């Protein structure tokens, strides 16, 4: 394969590389390019660009000047949506409508970043004592290292980086090596929007690049989204180098359905939120928890019928509901999890292991798979299965449903379907999840609210977007000032520890 997808540093692409890895089209299974892999030298080159005089001018630019770039970037994202969706679909495998939806959420993130002047406003107190005024300001942290996953090649980067650049930082971004092309397209849009060349830099690669980012003294903050195992590593190593780190990790999202719920709506929600994007979303519903045997039995039949009607297909198949998983390795991992769950004694009621696309026999497809009678001691319950295999875990009471939800190590998202306000209130007050839905299958908040899980779904105290993101990408300074009149001449000395 001749095409090399390279790095983007100081406004130009760099394809020279010592090491590279394959890039596949998951829908067909064919290798479509090679991705250059960065080493420590490449990272250093990117950091030098991000700390150049050109980048420092951006840090000192006015809010108005920065916002003009963001406004233009939003326009470009809207006008280039179809082209970008094609790139995402080809390398990720998600359907074109799904990719367009992702881009829409990315645009929403850019729109919120235009509020940076408001959400970074400081405080002011006049004449706290002796004509002294005290005020606070927020300034950029400097260079932000961004490490993003394959499952949202544009939404997560846009949410991270639009706020980071809006408040004056520069970027060194390592996208997933599985989906490198969308990153370069995104970088070119920033350039067209007027962002100075040195402010936005991309380094492609694997763990070598990640470690170099974590260790580099010129990078002040790290924002990460990915698996829990890697996210914990990033957090621990990054903070050991005295960096500010926000790490957003895995989820095993529970959907509780009460007997009084609209079961038709609940079944539609479970199938949509559970199998969309081949279940490769950290906010996907993983587990259905019906309360009571009658609720479970009715839901089971509804879900079987609706799931059987789902159509798999290539990313550009207009009839496809969802597509392939990201890689051959991912497919094997999901199949292994299904096999283990069968061995552990769960009831396999829909089996997608033998699905084969009629045209693309080498594509990484897995048919929708569904288990019933899961138990909390099964690996399938404990692990985040990043593929279209979902499960039903039956309980008898709301108390039991909350206990099961809170016993899991992850606390990303949890939802309840009910018509009863008291059940809803109990659930969202008692459940230990960072994002909670009531009759909403995917409680992914809009961009002006904070996003982030609890427990092992997040490391660090920041959030991915919302007002907390602006705070993460800025550092606080507090200034005490006094302006004596020209004729004043204070000759006194006082060693007392006080403000007068």
Catalytic positions, please? 282
Residue 443 burial (CB count, 10 A): 20
CA nearest to 94, candidates 286, 274, 281, 309: 281
Q: How far apart are CA 98 and CA 315, in angstroms?
A: 9
**Which is it for strands 285-290 and 30-37: parallel, antiparallel or unpaired?**
unpaired
CA nearest to 147, candidates 217, 229, 223: 223
135: CB partners within 8 A, 6+ apart: 122, 123, 124, 125, 478, 479, 481
Distances from the Cα of 235 to the Cα of 29, 210, 243, 384, angstroms: 33, 12, 9, 20
499: CB partners within 8 A, 6+ apart: 128, 129, 130, 132
Q: How far apart are CA 353 and CA 338, in angstroms?
A: 8
Token code pair at residue 35: 């991705």
Q: What are phi and psi of 436, to 5 degrees?
A: -125, 135
The separation between the first and the last C-alpha atoms of the chain, rounded to the nearest angstrom, is: 74
């Amino acid at each position: 394969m001749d095409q090399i997808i390279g790095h983007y540093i100081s406004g130009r692409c760099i394809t020279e590389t010592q090491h590279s890895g394959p890039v596949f089209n998951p829908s067909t299974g064919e290798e479509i390019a090679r991705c250059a892999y960065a080493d420590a030298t490449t990272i250093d080159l990117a950091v030098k660009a991000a700390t150049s005089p050109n980048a420092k001018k951006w840090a000192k630019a006015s809010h108005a000047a920065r916002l003009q770039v963001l406004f233009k970037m939003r326009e470009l994202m809207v006008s280039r949506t179809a082209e970008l969706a094609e790139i995402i679909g080809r390398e990720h495998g998600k359907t074109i409508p799904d990719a367009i939806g992702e881009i829409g959420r990315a645009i929403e993130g850019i729109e919120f970043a235009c509020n940076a002047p408001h959400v970074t406003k400081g405080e002011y107190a006049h004449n706290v004592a002796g004509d002294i005024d005290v005020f606070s300001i927020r300034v950029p942290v400097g260079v932000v290292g961004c490490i993003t996953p394959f499952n949202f090649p544009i939404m997560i980067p846009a949410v991270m980086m639009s706020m980071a650049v809006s408040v004056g930082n520069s970027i060194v971004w390592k996208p997933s090596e599985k989906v490198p092309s969308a990153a370069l397209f995104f970088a070119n849009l920033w350039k067209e929007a007027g962002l100075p060349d040195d402010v936005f830099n991309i380094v492609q690669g694997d763990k070598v690049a990640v470690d170099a980012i974590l260790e580099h003294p010129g990078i002040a903050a790290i924002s990460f989204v990915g698996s829990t195992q890697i996210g914990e590593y990033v957090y621990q190593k990054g903070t050991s180098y005295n960096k500010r780190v926000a790490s957003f990790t895995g989820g095993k999202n529970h959907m509780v359905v009460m007997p009084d719920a609209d079961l038709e709506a609940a079944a539609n929600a479970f199938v949509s939120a559970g199998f969309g994007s081949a279940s490769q979303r950290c906010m996907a519903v993983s587990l259905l928890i019906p309360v009571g045997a009658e609720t479970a039995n009715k839901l089971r039949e509804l879900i079987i019928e609706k799931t059987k009607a789902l159509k798999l297909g290539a990313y550009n198949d207009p009839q496809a509901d969802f597509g392939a998983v990201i890689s051959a390795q991912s497919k094997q991992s999901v199949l292994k999890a299904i096999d283990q769950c069968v061995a552990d004694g769960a009831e396999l009621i829909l089996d997608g292991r033998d699905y084969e696309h009629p045209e693309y026999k080498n594509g990484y497809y897995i048919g929708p798979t569904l288990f019933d009678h899961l138990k909390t001691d099964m690996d399938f319950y404990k692990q985040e299965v990043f593929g279209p295999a979902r499960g039903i875990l039956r309980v008898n009471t709301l108390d039991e449903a909350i206990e099961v939800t809170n016993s899991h190590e992850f606390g990303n998202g949890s939802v309840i379907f009910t018509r009863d306000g008291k059940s809803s209130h109990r659930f969202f007050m008692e459940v230990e999840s960072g994002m909670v839905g009531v009759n909403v299958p995917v409680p992914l908040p809009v961009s002006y609210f904070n996003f982030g899980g609890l427990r092992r779904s997040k490391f660090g105290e920041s959030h991915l977007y919302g007002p907390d993101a602006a705070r993460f990408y800025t550092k606080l300074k507090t200034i005490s000032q006094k302006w004596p009149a020209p004729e004043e001449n204070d000759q006194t000395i006082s060693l007392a520890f006080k403000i007068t």
